[in-house]
A and B are shown apart, each in its own frame.
Chain A
Amino acid sequence: GAGVSQSPSNKVTEKGKDVELRCDPISGHTALYWYRQSLGQGLEFLIYFQGNSAPDKSGLPSDRFSAERTGGSVSTLTIQRTQQEDSAVYLCASSFAPGAHQPQHFGDGTRLSIL
């Protein structure tokens, strides 16, 4: 597609449920990133993929968070046993390569609300 696509755009779920968020990067982009944007907290890095491997998971806040990427393309961020503090906008970005010269292109995000 023309840009980074994320689904769903909005998700409301009850505390304790598991959720899956999906990201479709720009075609041909090998690097993929997940960020979280919380009210008052700004944007925080979660995890970075190069191809299907994740060399940097340092931003994942707890073991309830996991992510995978298949076929060097689509990525899924899974949050297990959701808590109210997980409510945030989850943004995905991709870049042509992981090199520092490559700008990151962002999707519109998934707005997650935990009741």
Chain B
Amino acid sequence: KQEVTQIPAALSVPEGENLVLNCSFTDSAIYNLQWFRQDPGKGLTSLLLIQSSQREQTSGRLNASLDKSSGRSTLYIAASQPGDSATYLCAVRHTPGAGSYQLTFGKGTKLSVIP
């Protein structure tokens, strides 16, 4: 059974710092990996999706990398801002087969950016 782990569970940084969030998964037979942010009381907003054949994806100040063979992904946030404060979730989608369209989520990293 696929398990997704995110470390750290919570992180507090001063505004302007660059930071890295970590995600690891136990079964490397994934189709893709998706990073989301969740604001309190809200749903999930998709940030980046990396296909299994890709090494990284970038969007603005965000950069996500994927090392499928070692079961790891990182989300890099440059020049953090208070508006980046949220919970960040990673999720993996399995290779085709029964139940392949579901996502398996980590429990998230709660980020606080201090002004």
| Chain A interface residues toward B at CB < 8 A | 4, 6, 31, 33, 35, 42-45, 48, 56, 58-59, 91, 93, 98, 100-101, 103-109, 111
Inter-subunit contact B43/A108 (CB<8 Å): yes
| Chain B interface residues toward A at CB < 8 A | 31-32, 34, 36, 41-46, 49, 51, 89, 91, 93, 96, 98-108
Inter-subunit contact B101/A48 (CB<8 Å): yes
Given contacts A43-B103, A105-B46, A106-B44, 15 further A-B contacts (CB under 8 A): A35-B103, A43-B89, A45-B102, A45-B103, A56-B98, A58-B98, A58-B99, A100-B31, A100-B32, A104-B34, A104-B46, A106-B36, A106-B43, A106-B45, A107-B43
> Of the candidates B42, B91, B96, B100, which one forms a contact with A108 in the assembled complex, judged by CB atoms under 8 Å apart?
B42
Identity of the chain A residue whose Cβ is nearest the Cβ of B93 in the assembled complex: A100
Give the 10 A-B residue pairs with the shortest CB-CB distance, closest first: A100-B31, A45-B102, A106-B43, A43-B105, A106-B44, A42-B107, A108-B43, A103-B46, A103-B49, A98-B101
Inter-subunit contact B51/A31 (CB<8 Å): no
Inter-subunit contact A45/B46 (CB<8 Å): no
Majority DSSP secondary structure for residues of B touching A: strand
Residues of A within 8 A of B104 (CB): 45
Residues of A within 8 A of B103 (CB): 33, 35, 43, 45, 104
Cα(A31)–Cα(B102), bound, Å: 11
Cα(A59)–Cα(B32), bound, Å: 20
Residues of A within 8 A of B34 (CB): 103-104
Nearest CB of chain B from residue A55's CB, rounded to whole Å = 8
